[in-house]
């Protein structure tokens, strides 16, 4: 038996032929905080994915003669000079598909929620071309946020890019998450992309989504401040590819980028480490392009392309109310409008602290329900007049009756725009309350009783869903009937008297 065994081994040795595998291997020449410089590649492509020892990956970001700058996508503490680097001949991609719904993943689509691996439908590159102009359709459908100051004065349409900006701790994330939660009754898929946020802040968002039964139709993509800058940079592009999978299948998707200030800072850090020449505020020259190529992917697709939409609500942080700084002005010029949150209003307890005067929606008005047009023009006009007269009245000058009336109405309008973080209003409730304020119905109500008056109106408002959702909105007769019904409800509650309203 031993002779047969040795014979078989000898036969195998004689038949053994070398089977070499061709692989282009580079050498780590230098390792930095989040980047590495690699030498030895002659045919490396820009944005190509490279494999490092220990399961670490990186993307080729800068290619020079004999040296390539690589953005690392993970912890590189184990990486040393002289380690081998291999090409993968593919670009960075992310998992997409329905299996991601309800999951929490990192910037590469790897699960973070301890619920096992994700069975992705397929993998898509994180960098994809924006839809062509001929593949887009006009923004014509509203995306209700449930916040009356936004839905009435700064409407958002499906397929729009509406910037949320304001100083630190003014409620930017709260507005974005409220918009996500308000889609629980709509067929809208939501994606929350946290960039450079604290882990505890992201955990609160996830808990909020679960408490409102929205998580099962949402995806949370997070790259925390402790993650590598490369992961923070790639996270929003990966989240957008996950969203585009559903958009191309005719779905409506809402994506939140929270926030792009930290995204810009992560890219600045990487660019400086890769020895790129700095420009204004030490940002690289292509800082505008990294955000434009991201946000241009949000659109309303034409019927020929399935009719899906991707609505983007990017968040950005300002400093000392300076909305004319470098990154804010870049994003204002890219997006279709902005919702500005004022720290002054926040300190006064006016929440949400939306400054209607500095906020604008450039396309949302075309998607707004016609019924809102009964209140939106008067709302903006009275609010602007009130802000101007409020500053004037501080000088202590004697005011005429008309000016005092405008001031009182403006105070009530600003007070009625207050709304709790977890209080989302239907379209009928919003229009009813705002119509009562702009028409003067609440002028006789004491300021401290306005919350009670709003509760009465919302409780006793006639069922207007069919009329308000109609394309033509309400006519003058319908408006009069609504006002009379609200007047009767307020009189029955003892908040106003017949003599006050008739006068």
Distance (Å) of CA 6 to CA 16, 17, 62: 15, 19, 55
Annotated catalytic, 362? yes
**Rounded CA separation 226/395 (Å):** 51
Residues 6+ positions from 422 with CB-CB distance below 8 Å: none
DSSP character string of 413-463: HHHHT---TT----HHHHHHHHHHHHTTTTTTS-GGGHHHHHHHHHHH---
CA–CA gap between residue 447 and residue 233 (Å, rounded): 48
Measured CA to CA, the distance from residue 413 to residue 466 in angstroms comes to 26
- Closest by CA to 28, choosing from 76, 79, 89, is 79
- Asked whether 395 and 403 are in contact (CB, 8 A), the reply is no
For residues 11 and 4, what is the distance between their CA atoms, to the nearest angstrom? Answer: 10
Distance CA 235, CA 197 (A): 12
465-467-468-469 Cα dihedral, nearest 10 degrees? 80
Let me know: does 485 contact 467? Beta carbons within 8 Å. Answer: no
242 DSSP assignment: H
Tokens representing 155 are 């409407």
Q: How far is CA 439 from CA 13, 368, 448, 491, in A?
A: 97, 20, 19, 16
Catalytic residue from among 141, 276, 293, 362: 362
- Kindly report the CA angle at 132 between 252 and 106, in degrees rounded to 5? 50
Do 182 and 145 form a contact (C-beta atoms < 8 A)? yes
Q: Please give the structure tokens belonging to residue 254.
A: 């809402």
So which residues are the catalytic ones? 362
């Amino acid at each position: 038996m031993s002779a047969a065994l040795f014979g078989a081994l000898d036969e195998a040795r004689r038949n053994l032929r070398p089977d070499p595998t061709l692989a282009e291997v580079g050498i780590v020449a230098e390792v930095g905080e989040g980047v590495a410089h690699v030498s030895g590649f002659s045919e490396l492509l820009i944005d190509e994915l490279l494999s490092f020892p220990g399961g670490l990956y990186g993307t080729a970001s800068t290619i020079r003669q004999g040296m390539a700058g690589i953005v690392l996508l993970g912890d590189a503490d184990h990486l040393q000079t002289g380690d081998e680097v291999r090409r993968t001949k593919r670009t960075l991609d992310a998992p997409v598909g329905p299996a991601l719904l309800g999951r929490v993943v990192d910037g590469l689509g790897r699960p973070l929620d301890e619920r096992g691996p994700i069975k992705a439908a397929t993998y898509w590159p994180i960098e994809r071309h924006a839809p062509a102009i001929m593949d887009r359709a006009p923004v014509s459908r509203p995306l209700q946020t449930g916040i009356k100051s936004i839905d009435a004065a700064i409407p958002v349409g499906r397929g729009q890019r509406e910037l949320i900006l304001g100083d630190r701790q003014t409620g930017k994330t709260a507005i974005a998450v409220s918009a996500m939660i308000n889609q629980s009754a709509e067929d809208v898929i939501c994606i929350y992309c946290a960039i450079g946020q604290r882990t505890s802040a992201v955990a609160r968002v996830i808990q909020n989504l679960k408490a409102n039964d929205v998580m099962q139709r949402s995806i949370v993509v997070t790259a925390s401040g402790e993650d590598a800058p490369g992961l923070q940079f790639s996270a929003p592009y990966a989240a957008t590819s996950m969203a585009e999978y559903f958009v191309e299948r005719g779905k409506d998707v809402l994506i939140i980028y929270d926030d792009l200030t930290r995204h810009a800072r992560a890219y600045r850090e990487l660019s400086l480490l890769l020895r790129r020449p700095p420009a204004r505020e030490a940002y690289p020259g292509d800082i505008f392009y990294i955000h434009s190529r991201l946000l241009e992917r949000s659109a309303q697709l034409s019927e020929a392309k399935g009719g899906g939409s991707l609505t983007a609500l990017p968040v950005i942080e300002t400093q000392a109310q300076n909305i004319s700084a470098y990154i804010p002005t870049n994003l204002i010029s890219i997006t279709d409008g902005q919702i500005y949150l004022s720290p002054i209003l926040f300190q006064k307890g006016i929440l949400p602290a939306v400054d209607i005067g500095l906020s604008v929606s450039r396309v949302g008005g075309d998607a707004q329900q016609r019924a809102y047009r009964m209140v939106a023009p008067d709302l903006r006009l009275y609010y602007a007049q009130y802000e101007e007269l409020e500053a004037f009245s501080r000088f202590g000058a004697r005011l005429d009756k008309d000016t005092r009336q405008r001031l009182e109405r403006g105070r009530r309008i600003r007070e009625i725009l207050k709304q709790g973080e977890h209080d989302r209003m239907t379209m009928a409730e919003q229009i009813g309350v705002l119509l009562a304020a702009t028409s003067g119905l609440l002028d006789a109500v004491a300021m401290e009783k306005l919350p009670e008056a709003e509760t009465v109106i919302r409780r006793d408002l006639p069922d207007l869903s069919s009329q308000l959702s109609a394309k033509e909105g309400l006519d003058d007769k319908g408006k009069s009937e609504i006002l009379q019904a609200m007047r009767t409800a307020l009189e029955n509650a003892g908040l106003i008297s017949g003599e006050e309203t008739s006068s």
